[in-house]
Chain A
């Protein structure tokens, strides 16, 4: 497995509370991504980062914010968790080649339940 860890691996929280998920990499890859996995929807991109302090929105960014203050860490924050944010969250990293595309390597996932 590529050097990607996610913390926590499991979390149960209540509606309205803030939650921060952490993705940590040891591969020095420039690009990092947060996806959520839901039945019937596959994986959907929430936010991504193309460098330190450089982030942008993905397909389902409402209710989420991110920060990347250093290459190895990419944080996903739910400012006020809602039940619709119950999901499995995956972090991924990549280092784009000359073609602009490359393999993404995924973390183990974080299972978040919002009650």
Chain B
């Protein structure tokens, strides 16, 4: 069975500080990993996906297959980064139908 774990329900940092949101997964094959974000009063939206290898809003995430982790990092947090962040996984293969397995979510608060 596939599983995504986000160990921190809440994470608070000050503006300008580095931030790391942790995500660990369990999956027997080669999954595709995503980070989704939900800002206050907005829809859940894709932040980034590991196959794109891009930086969005200053965030990056590296897939570490050895540690089965996909932590989200930003060197200098901004107040507008305050949101709920979800790590999610899609199992590889044609029968997955794109079904996402989500972690429990981490609420990030960036203080001024």
Contacts and interface: CB of A to CB of B under 8 A. Distances in A.
Contact of A100 (B46, B92, B100): B92
Interface residues of B, number: 25
B104 A40 contact: yes
Interface string B99-112: 11111110000000
A106 B102 contact: no
Given A40-B104, A41-B104, A107 B43 contact: yes
Contacts of B102: 35, 42-44
A96 B104 contact: no
Interface in B53-112: 86, 90, 92-94, 96-105
A96 B99 contact: no
A21 B2 CA distance: 28
Determine which residue in A45, A90, A106, A108 has the highest number of CB atoms from chain B within 10 A of its CB, and name it: A106
Contacts of B32: 99, 101
A102 B51 CA distance: 11
A109 B105 contact: no
A61 to B, nearest CB: 12
B12 interface: no
27 contacts: A1-B43, A33-B99, A40-B9, A41-B104, A42-B102, A42-B104, A42-B105, A44-B102, A45-B101, A50-B97, A59-B101, A90-B44, A96-B98, A100-B90, A100-B93, A101-B32, A101-B90, A101-B92, A101-B98, A102-B98, A103-B46, A104-B46, A105-B45, A106-B43, A106-B44, A106-B45, A108-B43
Given A33-B98, A43-B100, A102-B98, 9 more contacts: A31-B97, A42-B86, A42-B103, A96-B97, A99-B51, A101-B98, A104-B46, A106-B44, A107-B43
Interface of A: 1, 31, 33, 35, 40-45, 48, 50, 56, 58-59, 90, 92, 94, 96, 99-109
Interface of B: 4, 6, 9, 32, 43-46, 49, 51, 86, 90, 92-94, 96-105
